[in-house]
Chains A and B, each alone.
Chain A
């Protein structure tokens, strides 16, 4: 008598088991899709940041070469020529290390953090489900279909949480991209400006070099026209040197400060979110 009863009981249970397992499968499929979409978005945003970062690095390299070229050729030649007619104290200041990380190291590092934080969600999910269902009798009660369904529901919630966090990380990546692009754009503009001014400067140096060689240190030999040319050349030299020493963005400038503020805002929220799921 007992065995048939057991069979009926198990039969009834199996109906529920199938229902639970189907629901669990649907939840799991949805969770996977959410994860896929979220990480696709994050990865796409991160890829765009990497591409922008590479482009900016190339622009900064180009600017760095140009600055060094001007410093070592035009400015050096000017100093040599100018010393033929007057005393000049020339100090070569640091032109700076022109790579993106030197300019916004924290922000660039944050990009890596963001990707890591996004990835940590998965671990949290695993930890959470482990915490919930493997406390005791794992493998025994853990096999109950209703609990599997509940676990899948929890996983779905966790997937949504990760999706939300991924959205935040993606949004922050967009900010990083904007900041990095601005640096690249600024480097481009500096390069062009320096190239244009240097072209005029080179011509000016060549021009004064012709008469300075002849007239030497006796300044009374120099006409007003000569002296105006020397003044013009000096002004170009001074302007170019100041531009060489000028950072792309002032550290305390509004753009730099806003870039840091924007990135820190994202980082703060991401860390808060990270703490929330731990």
Chain B
């Protein structure tokens, strides 16, 4: 029997939605989301009416649920609460994080109430199973993003309080490893996400030790590693960490998995998803389709290849293969998406640059040709002027020589100099004679 004080403490620790929900914040979010509009579409593609009565009037009371507005916590309050408590956060801190605008979205009341305390990934699985591929993919992408965002915020918050506290959540030898891995990362954000990856890998270890059900581990691995690999800078660390944790697990199966070279599988999966990759680069499929294909193809092959490799050694291989496969797929998706973005950006950059260079080159050639033509024209003009002056000058000089007339010769020399804007000083004999006969006169040359 607990005493009053213990009961009170226990009550405080229990999940209380009313205490964590921020109705005013959600109301403000709804106002902002609609702005001056009366309708908006949600992630499910449903047309939502800001005014419930308008939806009822238009669709009738029963069908209006699909068009009435709820403000949904993308990552459910309960999940945020559970994770926050594990990280040692207070209710107030959890409330603040859970009700951040980044965790809100408008959603039709039907889907929201059907979702209940489930995550987007749960919803995605349900939609995909029902054949609603587009809707499922949207929820999957939203889910991974919001999970990543929420994990980052929760752990970032906790790390700010005390990074060591986070590492302490990972039991035993994992704690030491997480400290080692943190050495890779320099800033708080990176340090905050590493433990998630390690915890994700730890799920596999937990299964091997029989501490966790396979279903729980697969789900947790996908969510948690998915959150990590979204940060491309951490991908390589993630791959290294995966191998190292498997090696340090003390479980023979997992050590063999590490020895089998998970990275090698990355290459094989990369080849398998290559067609999707190229089609995306060519603009034949959009990002959502690409993500869907990569996940489907990569996941299948990851499980197959890991199963094949591990199956030679140990029995419970398909199980571990599926878990590792899901992890590898997460890593691969992150890697390929990042490579895809880089390559696509580069291709677009190159195309754009080529167009720019084509344009500039055409303009440059036209301008250079024009300038050269002008230069050639001026050179020709200069030559003609030269020839005219020199020929006329020669003519006068020889004429003057024949006539023994120095003034004509002077005029000839003057004609030659005229093209440089210069003249002979003595064009007339009388000018020369005057200076010559002046004994004090000094000629200058």
Residues of A at the B interface (CB closer than 8 Å) are: 2-3, 5-6, 9-10, 13, 16-17, 20, 79, 82, 86-91, 128, 131-133, 135-137, 140-141, 143-147, 149-150, 153-154, 157-158, 160-161, 164-165, 167-168, 171-172, 174-175, 178-179, 182, 185-186, 189, 193, 196-197, 200, 219, 222, 224, 227-232, 234-239, 241-243, 246, 249-250, 254-255, 258-259, 261-262, 265-266, 269-270, 272-273, 276-277
The residues of A that contact B339 with a CB separation of less than 8 Å are 135-137, 141, 147
Contacts A2-B307, A157-B351; is A235 near B426 (CB within 8 Å)?
yes
Q: Which residues of B have CB within 8 Å of A228?
A: 406, 429
Bound form: Cα–Cα A154–B351 in Å:
8
A residues within 8 A CB of B364?
168, 171, 265-266, 269-270, 272-273
Contact A137 B375 (CB under 8 A): no
Per the CB 8 Å criterion, the residue count for chain B at the interface is 79
Complex: how many Å from CA A165 to CA B424?
51
The answer to the question of B7 belonging to the interface, with a C-beta cut-off of 8 Å to chain A, is no
A9–B301 contact, CB under 8 A?
yes
B52 within 8 A of A: no
Nearest to A203 among chain B residues (CB) is B401
- Closest residue of chain A to B443 (Cβ to Cβ) is A88
**A258 near B375 (CB under 8 angstroms)?**
yes
Among residues 310 to 340 in chain B, which have CB atoms less than 8 Å away from a CB atom of chain A?
Answer: 311, 335-336, 338-339
Name A87's closest neighbour in chain B (CB-CB).
B442
B365 x A171 contact (CB < 8 A): yes
B350 touches A258 (CB 8 A): no
A-B contact count (CB 8 A): 251
A6 to chain B, nearest CB (A): 6
Q: Which residues of B contact A167 (CB under 8 A)?
A: 361, 365
- Whole-angstrom distance between the alpha carbons of A185 and B380 in the complex? 11
Q: State the Cβ distance, B105 to closest chain A Cβ, in Å.
A: 33
Most buried by A among B236, B417, B443: B443
Residue B422, interface by CB 8 Å = yes
| B386 touching A189, Cβ below 8 Å | yes
Whether B270 contacts A242 by the Cβ 8 Å rule is no
Say yes or no for B40: interface residue by CB 8 A criterion.
no
Q: List CB contacts (< 8 Å) of B410-445 with chain A.
A: 410, 413, 416-417, 420, 422, 424-426, 429, 432-433, 436-437, 439, 441-445
Tell me which of B80-88, B112-120, B131-139, B273-281 binds A: B273-281
Nearest Cβ distance between residue A22 and chain B, in whole angstroms?
14
In addition to A171-B372, A231-B410, 18 A-B residue pairs with Cβ atoms within 8 Å of each other are A6-B308, A13-B271, A17-B271, A90-B444, A131-B346, A135-B342, A141-B267, A157-B351, A167-B365, A171-B369, A200-B397, A222-B436, A246-B420, A255-B382, A258-B374, A262-B374, A269-B360, A276-B357
CB distance from A120 to the nearest CB of B (A): 13
- Please name all residues of chain A whose beta carbon is closer than 8 Å to the beta carbon of B338 when the two chains form the complex: 136
Q: With A and B bound together, what is the CA distance between A209 and B303 in angstroms? A: 112
B51 contacts chain A at the CB level, 8 A cutoff: no
| Bound-state Cα–Cα, A37 to B424, Å | 56
In the docked arrangement, what's the CA distance between A189 and B390, Å? 10
Q: Jot down 14 A-B pairs with beta carbons below 8 A, ordered by A.
A: A16-B274, A89-B443, A140-B266, A150-B278, A160-B354, A168-B361, A197-B413, A227-B432, A230-B432, A236-B413, A237-B445, A242-B417, A265-B368, A273-B357
Do A90 and B445 touch across chains, with their CB atoms under 8 A apart? yes
- The answer to whether A239 and B360 have CB atoms under 8 Å apart is no
Taking a contact as CB atoms under 8 Å apart, the answer to whether B445 and A165 are in contact is no
Query: Complex formed: what's the CA distance from A249 to B382 in Å?
Result: 10
Nearest A residue to B310 by beta-carbon distance? A2
B365 and A258 contacting across the interface, CB-CB below 8 Å: no
- Is the pair B394, A174 in contact by a Cβ cutoff of 8 Å? no
Contact of B361 among A131, A145, A189, A273 (CB under 8 A): A273
Chain B residues within 8 Å of A87, by CB: 441-443
Bound complex: CA A79 to CA B274 (Å): 90
Rounded to whole Å, the gap between the CB of B63 and the closest CB of chain A is: 46
